[in-house]
Structure 1
């Protein structure tokens, strides 16, 4: 049985208190530090992706871009891969539009039944010529003279620090960057819009 004198001495003994307190604080501190490093890496990666897209955008506006697309795309991928893990996936997409006002816009259709959905054989303007109604009227590729081109990169990689699961975040990080450019006026712009029917 522990006597009152021993209890009094134990109550005043503070040896090991720092270690115990650090045990409470350490997990929170580690998660906080990993979160800061993860955020800093994400911001730096976003800056690199945006820089690569701006450079590619300038290169894509030239008349010779049609024959150099593969080289320009690879330069973007190489620039991004310098700051993300080797197992990161980089997806590039180019959509050409007749004008800047078309970027991100859906193809026009006649909404006969008023349900705001292209269906039931309603006619639509097939702006990109692919035979179906699209929520983005851009045609795949860089188009022709004077076309406005949306060039977009999507990068996904596993987070560098294993703290995502502890705070309810996704284990993967996804960043998107885009630039819009207008091709040089080396020729007359051609716009042929066919009429199709919604399914």
Structure 2
């Protein structure tokens, strides 16, 4: 082939261009698939936690927390494999941790209620509030609650944390950790299957 003809020859150019583009495209696709898989796992975990939380609110549920946790992980095992219980601050792959915190009312499980005079959704220093925990100041979270499912009519926050190895081996290229941790939490009230311990007390508003 003559030199001029060789210079004008474009055969194989697409293959060369694909060689440069393919690695980047494949990494982006795998990264996207990793994020989608994480979203799917979180959705499945949310559903399993909601079901376990509802089962825990009925009479006898406080005695079945271990069984309910295992039901949640049985659902998740099809996605992330076998796991073991561990509540370490830095969770390892293939571990899970569940917590239950009970309160006597929904008000105690969230920010202390206040009079939102200007309707901005933010508690101002001049707006009165109900001092649920009696510390003399407004708290976004008024108390730590009691560990466990609680009793009849108690409000329980059920949280499940699961850590698993990422499915796609591109985490290092993106600067991501090799493990992925997902968390699901729900807030439900136990059924009034017996007389609740303790009595409700009306609180005087605090305006300073």
Asked if TM exceeds 0.5, the reply is yes
CA–CA distance in 2 between the matches of 1:171 and 1:91?
A: 19
Among 101, 110, 114, the alignment partner of 2:107 is 101
CA contact (8 A) 2:62 2:148 kept: no
Q: 1:64 corresponds to which residue? A: 60
Q: Which runs of 5+ in 1 are unaligned?
A: 117-133, 193-199
Larger radius of gyration between Structure 1 and Structure 2: 1
CA deviation map 1:13-61 (0-9, x unaligned): 2232122101111111111221232122112211110110111111011
Aligned residues: CA RMSD: 2.5
Q: 2:12 corresponds to which residue? A: 16
Give secondary structure in 2 for the equivalent of 1:83. Answer: helix
Mapped pair 1:91 → 2:97: yes
Among 137, 144, 163, the alignment partner of 2:170 is 163
The alpha-carbon deviation at position 179 of structure 1 amounts to 1.0
Give secondary structure in 1 for the equivalent of 2:100. Answer: strand
Among 31, 39, 43, the alignment partner of 1:47 is 43
Taking structure 1 as the reference length, what is the TM-score of the superposition?
0.74
Q: 2:28 corresponds to which residue? A: 32
Runs ≥4 in structure 1, deviation > 4 angstroms? Answer: 104-108
Number of residue pairs matched by the alignment: 168
Give secondary structure in 2 for the equivalent of 1:179. Answer: strand
